[in-house]
Structures are given as C-alpha cells and as structure tokens.
Structure 1
C-alpha cells in the first residue's frame, strides 16, 4: 500500500511539474511575442520625442542628419573638454541640422553630465553656423522637485536661447551680461551642472568639430 501511495505521489508531482513547465513555456513565448510587437512602437515614440526636442532647440531646422566624421568626434570630446575643466561630461550624439533643401544650418548636440544634484542630466543644444546658441532642452534628469527640477522650466531654458557667446556663466546676483545665466534659487549644483554641460557642447563644436575650418 505504501509503495502505491509513493508511486501516486510521484506521478502527481511529475504531472504538476509538466503543467508548470508548459505554463512557463507558453508565458515565455507570449512575452516574447508582445516584446517583438511593442519594441518597434517604443523605438518610434522615442525617435519622435528626440526629433521634437531637436526642433525645440533648433526651430528653423527641418532635418537632423547623422555624419560619420561628426559621430567619430564625439568619442574624442574628452581631449578638448577635460583641459577646460569639464569632467564627468560626455557628448552622446551630434547631428547636422539642415533646412528643407538640405543646406547645413548648424548642429544639434546631446550632452550628459554626471554632476547634477540627483545624478545624470542629459540635454540637447542647438548651435547655428554663425555661432548662435539656438536653444537648450533638458532631455532627462532626476533633480529635486521645486528646486533643481526648475532647470526644465521655460524661464530657465530661455536664458540660453539666441545667445552668441563663447561660454556661459551663472550668477546669483542677477544676470547683466549676454553670457550670464540667473542661477536657480537653492539649486546652485544643478545650475552649475547644466551650465557646464551647455559649455561642453559649445566647446565640442568650436574646439573640435570646427577647429581649423
């Protein structure tokens, strides 16, 4: 009798294991199928969001094109940034901004700094052929709400737009010069991080991309 019970238990365990395996297998296939369907849609949405951000920082541009030489230079950015004290900053992407006819208008550069109060801050920067900063847009950050997070407000970002300067500086006493940015109240670290990231983008373009042109 005892042997029959043991055999019965073993059969039940084996059956349950097979059922569990089948459920896991089906669930795995289902998740894989859903993943294959959603990934292209997610990538399309991400691309759309990036294009909208690029057009925000370079309103007059219609297209943003990759360039092999420009892409290679993003990997060389440290050699011009670090001597100027811009450390823990990377140039993630650089594109050529063009008009409807394909004429070059300038550049859009994506910069990430690790020196935000809440960690990494990624922003995009528009730079025209004549040296004018067309605009700046925060792409991602994790700064403190009500303080550093105000870096994404229109009022703060507009301080960088339509300025033709070699580099920006922030001040706590009220901006008086073209290159000065009013620091965010109670968020000096965020202000410094964003300002240095923008300056790094400018340095990358002027000292590396356009050097010698």
Structure 2
C-alpha cells in the first residue's frame, strides 16, 4: 500500500537583501515566485511598507518576507493590524523599535507552527538613524548592518562583504542603492529562482521611496 503524506508548505523562491546606512535603510527583493522549476508569477512582491490605516500614511518602516508566500502575506496583514491598533491607542504612528518588538512577539506566538519565512524589518528611528533587524522563524532578532535571505542570500552577502568592508556606517544612500542593484543582478545570473524585477524600498526620515529595476527574465 502506498503511503501518502501531506506537506502544507512550499518554498516560492526568490531572495531579499537588507542594508542600512547612517540615515537610511534599504530592503529589496526580486519579484519572481516559483514552485520548483515552474514560475507562478513574475510580479510577486516580497517587500512591503507597514501601514496603520492612517488617512495620510508616511511610513518609515518596511518589512521583507521570503519563503512561503501565503505566510508572508498573513504576517504582513497581522503587522499592519498591530500598527493600526498602536495608532488608535497612542494617537501616533509606531516607531521602528516598538514595531521590531511586536514583530518578534508575533513570530514567537507561532513558534509551534512557525511561519516558513525569512524575515527582515528596516526603518529609521527617532533620531534618523538607519536600522535593520533580521529574524529567525521563532522571533529571535538581531540588528544587522546588512543581511541576505532566500535562495540566493548566500551569493549576495559575500559580495556585499567585499564591497562594504569597514565603510558601512558612512556608505552614501546612492552608493548603497547601486550596491543592492549589483548584488541582485549577479544573483539573477547565477540562480534560476531569482529574476524578473528588483523591488527596492529606500527608507529615510522623509518616508519610503520605492524603486523598480529590470532583472533577467529567462
């Protein structure tokens, strides 16, 4: 008799990369969604602004998720709801430090059936300093200067290591943006599950600026 097993998850491919500077943070991801060697979508976002339902949103926080796409959408919606509740209770938008702690709590609450994701949170704090947090599935987090995740994270981080070196605190935003572009272009040439478009969210004290760029389509 054949034994049948059900596994509720799949890895939908793609990669994300986070980088922070003295007064900015960048979260980026490709838009290709895969199942094995099949392409489900060429426009699946992996980076999102945190929205709290304000009539005039000016978010200073961005979230990246890569892994199982449905889990990523659910986590984003839960974090948005938490941010909306914070604004309702306190009369102001949530800061990056409080949001990072709440995200850690959300992930920890799911520790017995965890989200199948690699997660990063980026923004600027009250003093205008760029901040980047990297999370494990159970909610433990670490502040990082740069971090990669997903199928090509292991390709991109060594590249950033060699380019950034000891200059990460003084890395200009324009230079950081170019570095992220180069990292993804190289990853797309070397990994079949990375490609189509690059989505970048650049967070500064003035808000979030979203940029799209072409990657390899085949």
Q: What is the TM-score of this pair, normalised by structure 1?
A: 0.25
The structure in which a higher percent of residues are strand is: 2
The structure in which a higher percent of residues are helix is: 1
Which of the pair has more CA radius of gyration? 1
Q: What is the TM-score of this pair, normalised by structure 2?
A: 0.25
